[in-house]
């Protein structure tokens, strides 16, 4: 009798375990290239979420993607649940402007929190003689892959300056993870990337060959900053990368973490909780996160309404009224 009871208990346990598994919820976070910071943002969030799968049943993956614009489009199409995106592209997606004009406003877009600042960064081969953004004219430049936020922001600057792709002797469209090698193999004179610092891509580009970080400043850049809430003046700190000892002026955006109303409140609540209940651990996962402050991350650089699940967590913690 005792044995039989045990068998029943084991069977019941097995059924319960199966039931929990059947309820597991798989979620994906769109990131960027493997040597960027978005990839680490997504991987870090998933790492913290997956530590609690036994409690909440959420299983998270964060594949490499084309970047900001690709992520927002994938969320809209229902192919990804969450993603990392530059603040300028979050704004344009919500309002249906710029690159999102054709698709119209993405009213269901939701901000979850913002992350690190991303200065627009130009790295040039030392032997190219490029010393300012304007020197890129006539040169071989990797303008970035379509779908990346960096490519989009590059096109915004070009528009402001009245430049066409044909103003470069070569405009290549390599992905962010491929561009440092192209620079050091002398396939291009310069690369551009909107990215947190320090980043793997820029480290690779500045240590594999002699290269310098080039300032992006002047009247057109001042106008972009003055006219648009999602841009601000930014600096790539001197001494962070080999070959560039002084601070370099540029402008930048914020990396933001977004989702849509398609993701349910409980899932986003658990994701936000996993990050902010383990905030010191999260900050330790990449040097670009070192200066993050929870208070700022609730709303800095976001234009879309905050997701209900994120709002619930932030209210519980007194970070939101
Ligand atoms: N901001 C970049 C983009 O959207 C990605 C930066 C990164 O991978 O860290 O293209």
For the stretch 11-48, pLDDT in tens is 444 444 444 455 799 999 999 999 999 999 999 999 99
Pocket flag, ligand 1, residue 148 (CB < 6 Å): yes
Q: What's the first-to-final CA gap in the chain, in angstroms?
A: 59
How many Å lie between the centroid of ligand 1 and the Cα of residue 6?
A: 55
The 3-state DSSP class for residue 2 equals helix
Residue 271 CA to ligand 1 center (angstroms) comes to 21
From the CB of 42, is ligand 1 less than 6 Å away?
A: no
Ligand 1 and 123: CB distance under 6 A: no
**Cα(35) to centroid(ligand 1), Å:** 10
Query: Ligand 1: does its nearest atom lie under 6 Å from the Cβ of 83?
Result: no
Among 195, 196, 234, say which to mutate for ligand 1: greatest number of ligand atoms within 8 Å of CB.
195
Ligand 1 atom with minimal separation from the 71 CA:
4
Check if the beta carbon of residue 146 is closer than 8 Å to that of residue 66: yes
Regions in the chain scoring below 70 on pLDDT: 1-22
**What are 124's strand-pairing partners?**
190, 212
Question: Is the distance from the beta carbon of residue 37 to the nearest atom of ligand 1 less than 6 Å?
Answer: yes
- The alpha carbon of 116 and the centre of ligand 1 are apart by a number of angstroms equal to 11
Residue 23 is predicted with a pLDDT of 74
Calculate how far, in angstroms, residue 253's C-alpha sits from the geometric centre of ligand 1. Answer: 11
What are 82-118's pLDDT values in tens digits? 999 999 999 999 999 999 999 999 999 999 999 999 9
Pairwise CA distance, residues 98 & 234, whole Å? 23
DSSP-derived 3-state class of residue 12: helix
pLDDT at 31: 98
Alpha carbons 259 and 198: distance in angstroms, whole number: 26
Closest by CA to 228, choosing from 301, 320, 163, is 301
The structure tokens 């081969």 sit at 125
3-state SS, residue 308:
helix
Q: List the domains of the chain with CATH numbers.
A: 24-117+254-316 (3.40.190.10), 118-253 (3.40.190.10)
Would you state the pLDDT for residue 18? Answer: 46
What is the number of the ligand 1 atom nearest to the C-alpha of 41?
Answer: 9
Please identify, by atom number, the ligand 1 atom nearest to the C-alpha of residue 144: 10
Is the distance from the beta carbon of residue 87 to the nearest atom of ligand 1 less than 6 Å? no
Q: Which atom of ligand 1 is nearest to the CA of 176?
A: 8
What is the per-residue pLDDT for 316?
Answer: 98
Residue 305: count of CB within 10 angstroms of its CB: 14
**Ligand 1 within 6 A of CB of 257:** no
Which ligand 1 atom is at minimum distance from the Cα of 147?
Answer: 10
118 CA closest ligand 1 atom index: 1
Contact 4, 35 (CB under 8 A): no
Q: Is 275 in the pocket of ligand 1 (CB under 6 A)?
A: no
For residue 32, which atom of ligand 1 is closest to its CA? Answer: 8
Percent of the chain with pLDDT over 70: 93
pTM confidence score:
0.93
Is the preceding omega at residue 198 within 30 degrees of 0, hence cis? Answer: yes
């Amino acid at each position: 009798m005792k044995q039989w009871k045990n068998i029943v208990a084991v069977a019941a346990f097995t059924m319960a375990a199966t039931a929990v598994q059947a309820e597991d919820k798989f979620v994906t976070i769109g990131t960027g290239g493997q040597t960027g910071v978005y990839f680490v943002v997504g991987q870090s969030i998933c790492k913290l979420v997956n530590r609690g799968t036994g409690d909440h049943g959420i299983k998270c993956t964060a594949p490499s993607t084309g970047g900001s614009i690709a992520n927002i489009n994938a969320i809209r199409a229902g192919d990804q649940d969450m993603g990392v995106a530059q603040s300028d592209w979050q704004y344009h997606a919500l309002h249906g402007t710029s690159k999102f004009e054709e698709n119209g406003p993405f009213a269901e877009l939701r901000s979850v929190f913002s992350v690190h600042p991303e200065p627009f960064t130009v790295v040039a081969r030392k032997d190219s003689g490029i010393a300012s953004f304007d020197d890129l004219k006539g040169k071989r430049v990797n303008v970035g892959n379509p779908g990346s936020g960096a490519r989009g922001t590059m096109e915004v600057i070009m528009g402001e300056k009245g430049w066409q792709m044909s103003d470069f002797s070569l405009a290549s469209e390599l992905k962010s993870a491929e561009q440092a090698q192209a620079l050091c193999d002398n396939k291009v004179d310069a690369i551009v990337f909107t990215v947190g610092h320090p980043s793997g891509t820029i480290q690779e580009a500045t240590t594999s060959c002699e290269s310098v970080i080039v300032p992006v400043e002047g009247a057109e850049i001042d106008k972009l900053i003055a006219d648009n809430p999602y841009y601000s003046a930014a600096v790539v700190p001197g001494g962070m990368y080999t070959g560039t000892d002084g601070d370099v002026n540029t402008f930048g955006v914020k990396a933001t973490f977004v989702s849509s109303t398609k993701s349910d409140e409980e899932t986003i609540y658990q994701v936000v909780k996993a990050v902010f209940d383990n905030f010191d651990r999260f900050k330790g996962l990449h040097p670009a996160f070192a200066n993050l402050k929870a208070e700022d991350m609730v709303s800095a650089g976001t234009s879309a309404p905050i997701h209900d699940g994120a709002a619930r967590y932030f209210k519980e913690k007194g970070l939101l009224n």
